[in-house]
Amino acid sequence: MLDADLLLEIWVGGLIELNKFQWMLGKGESWAPGKKLKLLFAGYNGTRNTGSDVRVQEIVRQVRRILGAENLDLSVMSFDFANSRGYFENARQVYLPNVYPPFLHREIRRQHGVIACEGSMFKSKFANALANMMIGSLGIAAAQNKLSIAYGGEAGAMDAFLQKMCKRFCRDSCIITRNPESQTLLGKLGIRAELGTDTAWTFEPLGPEFGRKALLDVGWDGSKPVLAICPINPFFWPVKPSIGRWFAHSVFGAYKKSYYRTIYFHRSGRDVDVAYERYLSAMAAGVLNYLRDRNAFPVLIGMEMLDSDACERMSEKLGGVPIFPSGRYNMFELVSILRVCQRILSSRYHAIVTSMPAGVPSAGVTMDERIRNLMRERGHDHLLMTVDDAELDDKIPEALRLLDAEADQIRCANGRVVARNLQLMARMGTYFEEQVARTYPEFPIRPGVLSWEDYLPPLSPLLRELLERHESALA
C-alpha cells in the first residue's frame, strides 16, 4: 500500500526543485526598494492550539519592532479564520488547506520571505505532514533566493526520508533552534543552526482581573489556592494521512474515533486506549491524593481543542472539576487564567512557559523532550515525570507537595530562566535582522547603536520588573 506521508513528501520535494527552475526563468515576486517586505508566517494556526498561536503572535510583534511595521506586509497561515480572529496583531490571514503542497507553491512565490514558526518543527512525533510543511515552506523560499528562516524551532527524531529532505532543502535557510539539544541534532545532519529560544516568553495576556473573575464564575471562593491541570492524549500521535481510511470514513463512517480532519487520522488501537486510560487515571489519582492534604481548588485547562476529551474524562474522575477549554477561551484569556493559579501540573509545554513570567510554580508530565529540556534548564528535574511512568500516581502528589515546599525557590529560578530567555530571544532578533540585510541589502535597517531590548517586542510592566529584579544575573 502506498504511504500517503511519503507521497506528500515526494510532492513537496518535487515542488521545491520545480521552484528552483522557475525562479531561474524569472517567475515569482522579488523585493525591490520602495516595496513593503512581504513575509509569510508558516505555522499550525487556526486550530486553537494556544502554544502555536502564542508563538506566532510574539514573532509578529518582534518582527514589526525590528523592521518597522510601516515597511512590512505580513501574512499568517490559518486553518480556520474563526479560530484565529483577533490574533497576530491584525496581520493578514491566509487559508491553509489540509492538502497544502499546491498552496505553498502558489503562495510563497507571492511573498519575499518565509518565517517557519512551528515549535515542533523538525520531528516526526506529531505528524510527518507538519514537519514536511515546514521543510517545504523553507525550501521553496530558499529555492527562490528569498528570506528563509526557521524561528525558534525544535528538532527531534525524524523518519528517514523526512531527515533526508531536511538535510537537502534546509541547508540554505537560516535555522534558529529553541534549545541546544535541537542545535546539536541538526548539526549531525550537517545543518548549521544558531541557538535561540521559544518565542512565547514575551506574550502579554489579559490582566489578572479576567483570570480571577473566570475562576470566581466557576465556583472559586477567592481564597483557596488554585491548582491548574493541563492533560492531553499523549498516545494518539502521530497523525498520518490515509486515503484508504478516508474512503472508509467517508463512505461507511468507519474510523470515527481516530478521525482528525480530511485525510488525516490519529494513531489508534487497543494499546493506545489502554495507555491513555492509564495516564488519565494516574493523573487523577495523584491529584486526589494531593487534595486530601491540601485544601486547593482544582481546574482543568485545555490548551488545544484536541485536549477536550482528556479534560472531560479527567473532570469526571475528579468529581466534576471546572474546565477551561481553548475552544471557548482565546489565548489572551487562557494565559490570564493560568497566571492567577498558584500551582500548575501540565503535560502542555506552553502552559508552563506562559505561566513562568508570573512566577507560578509548575511540574511537568512529559511525552517528549520539550518539557524535559525546559525543566533541565530550570534545574527542576525533580519536578519532571513521564506520561508512561508506572509510578505516576505516586510521583504526582510528591511533585505537587514539592511545589508547595519550594515555591519561593521555584519562583526565583523561573524568573532567572525567563530573563535569560528574553536575552536569547533578543539575540534571535539580531540573527533575523542580519539575515534580512544579507538577503536584501537595500532594505532600510534601523541605524545607530541599539540595546538588546530593542530586539524584543514591547515588554509588559511585569517583564520589565522581572528584568530589573534579575539584572545582576544578566550582567
Tens of pLDDT, residue by residue over 268-286, are 899 999 999 999 999 999 9
Domains of the chain: 4-200 (3.40.50), 208-405 (3.40.50.2000)
> What DSSP assignment string belongs to 348-383?
-HHHHHHHGGGT--EEEEESSHHHHHHHHHHT-GGG
Judged by average pLDDT, the poorest of 54-68, 251-265, 407-421 is: 251-265
Question: Which positions ≥6 away from 400 have C-beta within 8 Å?
Answer: 227, 286, 287, 290, 294, 343, 345, 363
The Cα–Cα gap between 457 and 454 comes to 8
Q: Which of 313, 321, 400 is nearest to 365 (CA)?
A: 400
What pLDDT does residue 239 have? Answer: 85
Strands (DSSP E) found in 221-296: 226-230, 240-241, 259-261, 264-265
Give the pTM: 0.94
CA gap 204, 463 in Å, rounded: 9
Grid cell 516595496 is found at: 35
Q: Helices in 318-460 by DSSP H: which ranges?
A: 331-339, 349-355, 369-378, 392-405, 407-439
Task: Count Cβ atoms within 10 A of the Cβ of residue 270 and give its class: 0-12 exposed, 13-18 middle, 19 or more buried.
Answer: exposed
Query: For the chain, what is the total number of helices (H) and then of strands (E)?
Result: 17, 16
Whether 1 has a pLDDT exceeding 60, the answer reads: no
**Which has the higher per-residue pLDDT, 83 or 252?**
83
Residue 255 confidence (pLDDT): 84
Q: What is the pLDDT of residues 15-56, one digit of tens each?
A: 999 998 877 766 777 899 999 999 999 999 999 999 999 999
> 164 pLDDT band (50/70/90 cuts)?
very high
Q: What pLDDT digit, counting tens, does each position of 190-214 carry?
A: 999 999 999 999 999 999 999 999 9
Q: What confidence score (pLDDT) does residue 246 get?
A: 81
pLDDT band at 2 (very low <50, low <70, confident <90, very high): low
Tens of pLDDT along 324-380? Answer: 999 999 999 999 999 999 999 999 999 999 999 999 999 999 998 899 999 999 999
Rounded to 5 degrees, what are φ and ψ at 73?
-130, 100
Q: Which residue has the cell 476529551?
A: 309
Average pLDDT of the chain?
A: 94
